[in-house]
Structure 1
Amino acid sequence: MAINSPLTELDINLADKGFYKGFNQIVTIGTKILIALLVIWAAVFSEQAGAVLKKMQGWSFESFGPWYIYAMAFVVILCLILAIYPAMGKIRLGGENAKPEFSTFSWFSMMFGAGVGIGMLTFSSAEPIYHFASNPDTIMGLVEPKAQETLRSVYKWSFFHWGLTAWGCYGIVGLVLAYFSYNRNLPLTIRSGLTPLFGKKLEGIFGDIVDITAVIATILGIAVTIGYGIAQFASGMHTVAGAQWMVNADGSPTNTAMLIALCVVMATSILSAASGVGKGIKWLSNLNMVLSFSLLAFFLIFGAPMVAIESLFLGIWDYIINFPVQAITYWPNSEVEPAATLYKWQSIWWTVFYWAWWISFAPFVGLFFARISRGRTIREYVLGTMVIPAVMCFIWFTVVGGTAIDLELTGKAGGSILGAGQEAQLFATLSVMLSPIMAKGMSFMVVILLITYLVTSADSGILVINTINAGGDDRQKGIKHIIFWGVALTTVIAVLLLAGGLTALKSAMLVGALPFSAIMVLMGFALLKALIRDAMRSKEKNFKGIPADAKQI
């Protein structure tokens, strides 16, 4: 029995005139209304909004914690299977004759900058330092906290959070979109990734809801990432300039400092987005990769290289051995210790929050990955978007975080790094390592690197939002639409910061992460179905491609 040909056309309704010419008005206007309602609510009823968002965060983590754990385990397994299985791994995105648009260095630079650059600068020192004091192994009494023996457990958990799971989340969304866009000629938008499951139903309101969900998740995911970035930016500027108005009494950045940093970053992002992927974003990505390697080399030479090398290899070994258990372990809420603390550690402070963050970031990063990955094979794509970036994160965490831990273990830091806020721990590490003048110089370099990561993430996000709103048309949009979404993103971040700081930003992010997590899992099943059916079609004797008059499914 012959298998029907795949769906290769998806008619998305786009306006043919006026301000929204080339855009899907339901998706674009619907998203604007929902974002406007969030901004008005958070601005007018800021205390209530902050409290409600915090309650929503707790409810989401407690009710859907297991879902986040198992959904992320599924996408990692699927990505690895697709890369390893010979017949699927050799499939080229765009067809056999497709050639990559970007060099391997630029391709990797843009992926790394858009995917995790900002978070890495904050957490490469902050997370190892935190796990040095508390992680599941210390909570269960398996190792002593803040001791030499704690190091292996530190990296077992740090690598778990920044390894294959994070990048697999981004990778599966990008792979699905790239395959259906470049191999089946469907629009480069989220709804296209569900066509094997829902077919032509995605042309109507159902497809609009899918794309609206993706845009909302993108906006809120970027908001959290930029929120962390500008907090560290403000802390860095205080370190360099010494202006007391930039920090509160507890050392955290003031709202004024973060809002000024936000305006500077977003104004630069709008200019970069207006220049397109091939110019501003590519140049900035290459620059931040060069600066990143320079900073990494500095820590490797002047930090604790032996601790870093030992931690890297032992950490990777521990990660590989423990990953199957870690990936499916969930600690439910409890009133009994240590279960109560394990639940808080996993669901409120670290793992489940991270998984929600990665998921909310996935439509943006995934679509951006798809946009720049035409011409790559599935195996090359998975290696480039999932395995290599994970190893890069491992190197950063052991080189930078290992230096911070070594300074505390040897007593040189005297608790100054452990006592600093997350946004200030990298600068505190530099202050212990170097003379005051040298520390300011290196801190200024970190600030510049941070700006490039912030701008790269923000301008890429603006372009992705416009692409989804335009039904997958990734061509350069008019400057007025770029400016609008740049201003809208700035407003969302500013209002939520004033309503409840980073806590409000993180809580709002969950609004987008939860529904999109279901879409992400369905996209994985859709891709698997499509690849299996394509393999079956290729084995049919008379299969010559996709007939123009064939029934499509």
Structure 2
Amino acid sequence: MNAGVKAATATAKTVTKNEYDTDYELGQDNVQIMGMDIHNPVFGVSAGLILLFIIGTLLFPAEAKVALTSARSWSIENFDWLFMIGCNVFVIFCLALIVLPVGRVRLGGTAARPEFSTFSWFSMLFAAGMGIGLMFWSVAEPVAYYTDWYGTPLNAAAKTPEGASMALGATMFHWGLHPWAIYGVVALALAFFCYNKGLPMTVRSAFYPLIGERCWGPIGNVIDILAVLATIFGLATSLGLGAQQAASGLNYLFGIENNLSTQIAVIVGVTCVALLSVARGLDGGVKLLSNINMVIAAALVALVIVLGPTLKIFGSIGTIFGSYVENIVPLSNWVGREDGTWYHGWTVFYWAWWVSWSPFVGMFIARVSKGRTVREFMTAVLLVPTLVTVVWMGVFGGTALDQAANGVGELANGISDVSLAMFQMFDNLPLTSIMSFVAVMLVLVFFITSADSGSLVIDSITSGGKTDAPMLQRLFWATLVGIIAGVLLIGGGSEALTALQAGAITTGLPFTVVLTLMCLSLYKGLRTEIY
């Protein structure tokens, strides 16, 4: 066993039966290339598939979009039951871990203590988890449901008080317990097997209790390759589409032309700042930016509460919580749904997207969570973000629905452009320019933290699970994500990015099975710490 693994194992709690003794040496399959320490099977195959995908998408953007969109639709239409059952299981499993005896287990052993303050820890996991999505969909999604843009949840009547309540509850359903449970399963599994069992920080390690030494072979390589592809495709898609959204916001605010040059400039700017953040390390980079994010986000929420319909906002917070609790079971059901268009186009799509992002977000959360108990970890990862999201959705979604219901502004006509929905809402509030500018800055900083944390995750997977690989590797991956987004935007535009997104979502199907097995493996491992 490699000295690094031995040292990690020595600091973890001793396992009576030595079931985690392994002959695998961290880095034994690695090669040194241009100052980088890379895991050859995973890095080589992932790089080849990424290159092949980019070339094919650039040469045939329309065909790639059709093929991958069809694959995504096939996955969602035929395996909706798998996504729904799987995600429901993840929620129940995570809630159970909070109350079961295994909740006392501390990540890193009984003597381990947290590396980051609770505020910084929460800021980082929230920024990586879904901060950027909430900037757009907290306004666009409830208005879309209320105005029947693409179906209504549980066939609720559009443009009615009941429809407004359901719109808020269904939006919260997509951003509450279920996505955080998906992230929580992956994050806890990776953190536990790395910090308590001394295994590498890579997805395959979570399956050691189930398949033993075989996780270091071809099976493990396939799992890690899927994780790399899902992560880099998801990040590149978000950066490319986000550049278009940011450019729309700049055009709306300052009249800057929303063209390819502006979008590429946004990508270059975000990538450069992300590289600077990477070079500063975890403390001086992601942690600092995440803390700044939370302060700015809190300030924006406070502004909207004060300048918006304050009493109605507080009422919306209560409404969204009540509607979420009331409808979580029927919305979680997959049998006999009569709202098929909405159900497949929104809920199942979201579940596939969250699952495809789970390797990225889960591994990053694991990386910053050493020293927390399982109970503390799950409470913070599952319950606290859900409560914060209730407030966020109540403030922004409630304000937007108030405008739509009263015929105020452009939102009264429904959603014309998701990227502009929040700015259209700000148009009808005082200090419009200030709030819109703060929102654009917040969006850009969220993108930067995603690029930085994403490069850390991809670096760990492609180096065979190392958390101290050369800085050059993280810089390489952060740059590559920006290049992929820019190249696809230049060569194929929205069609290429949509194809990339469809490819990422399609990986959610096999990963749902992977995560289900991960639950079993994780519980089996946790029990060794208690019994």
TM-score by length of 1: 0.88
In structure 2, what is the equivalent of residue 215 of structure 1?
Answer: 228
Aligned partner of 1:374: which letter? Answer: K
Please tell me whether residue 98 in structure 1 is matched to residue 112 in structure 2: yes
1:443/1:331 CA distance change after superposition, 3 Å: farther
How far apart, CA to CA, are the structure 1 residues paired with 2:49 and 2:140? Answer: 34
1:419/1:365 CA distance change after superposition, 3 Å: closer
In structure 1, what is the equivalent of residue 465 of structure 2?
Answer: 472
Aligned partner of 1:270: which letter? Answer: L
Per-residue deviation, 1:510: 2.2
Please tell me whether residue 108 in structure 1 is matched to residue 122 in structure 2: yes
C-alpha RMSD over aligned residues: 2.2
In structure 2, what is the equivalent of residue 200 of structure 1?
Answer: 213
Please tell me whether residue 267 in structure 1 is matched to residue 272 in structure 2: yes
Deviation string 1:326-380 (CA, Å, 9 cap, x unpaired) is: 2232557xxxxxx4xx222121x21111111111111011111111000111111
Deviation string 1:505-543 (CA, Å, 9 cap, x unpaired) is: 32121243222222211111101122234433xxxxxxx
Deviation string 1:465-505 (CA, Å, 9 cap, x unpaired) is: 001111111125232x2333223212332344425055323
In structure 1, what is the equivalent of residue 11 of structure 2?
Answer: none
1:306 to 311, 327, 330: 311
Q: How does 1:219-298 map to 2 (within 5 A)?
A: 219-243=232-256, 245-246=257-258, 254-298=259-303
How far apart, CA to CA, are the structure 1 residues paired with 2:177 and 2:59? Answer: 41
In structure 1, what is the equivalent of residue 484 of structure 2?
Answer: 492
Please tell me whether residue 322 in structure 1 is matched to residue 327 in structure 2: yes
1:482 to 456, 459, 474: 474
How far apart, CA to CA, are the structure 2 residues paired with 1:417 and 1:96? Answer: 57
In structure 1, what is the equivalent of residue 178 of structure 2?
Answer: 165
| Conserved? CA contact 2:202–2:461, under 8 Å | yes
**Percentage of matched positions with identical amino acids:** 34
In structure 1, what is the equivalent of residue 420 of structure 2?
Answer: 424
Per-residue deviation, 1:193: 0.5
How far apart, CA to CA, are the structure 2 residues paired with 1:171 and 1:417? Answer: 38
2:443 to 441, 450, 453: 450
1:509/1:138 CA distance change after superposition, 3 Å: closer
Aligned partner of 2:159: which letter? Answer: K
| Conserved? CA contact 1:417–1:429, under 8 Å | no
| Conserved? CA contact 1:130–1:418, under 8 Å | yes
How far apart, CA to CA, are the structure 1 residues paired with 2:150 and 2:161? Answer: 16
How far apart, CA to CA, are the structure 2 residues paired with 1:350 and 1:490? Answer: 28
Aligned partner of 2:195: which letter? Answer: Y
Per-residue deviation, 1:255: 4.1
Aligned partner of 1:409: which letter? Answer: A
2:362 to 356, 361, 366: 366
1:517/1:414 CA distance change after superposition, 3 Å: closer
1:526 to 511, 521, 527: 521
How far apart, CA to CA, are the structure 1 residues paired with 2:65 and 2:488? Answer: 8
2:87 to 65, 72, 77: 72
| Conserved? CA contact 1:128–1:158, under 8 Å | yes
1:114/1:227 CA distance change after superposition, 3 Å: same
| Conserved? CA contact 2:30–2:463, under 8 Å | no
Please tell me whether residue 23 in structure 1 is matched to residue 38 in structure 2: yes
| Conserved? CA contact 1:373–1:381, under 8 Å | yes
Per-residue deviation, 1:35: 0.4
| Conserved? CA contact 1:356–1:513, under 8 Å | yes
| Conserved? CA contact 1:331–1:343, under 8 Å | no
SS in 1 for 2:37: coil
In structure 2, what is the equivalent of residue 345 of structure 1?
Answer: 342
| Conserved? CA contact 1:190–1:363, under 8 Å | yes
1:417/1:297 CA distance change after superposition, 3 Å: farther
Aligned partner of 1:302: which letter? Answer: L
Per-residue deviation, 1:162: 0.3
Name structure 2 gaps, 5 residues minimum. 1-14
SS in 2 for 1:23: strand
Which segment is superposed worse, 198-207 or 107-116? 198-207
How far apart, CA to CA, are the structure 2 residues paired with 1:374 and 1:57? Answer: 36
In structure 2, what is the equivalent of residue 355 of structure 1?
Answer: 351
In structure 2, what is the equivalent of residue 388 of structure 1?
Answer: 384
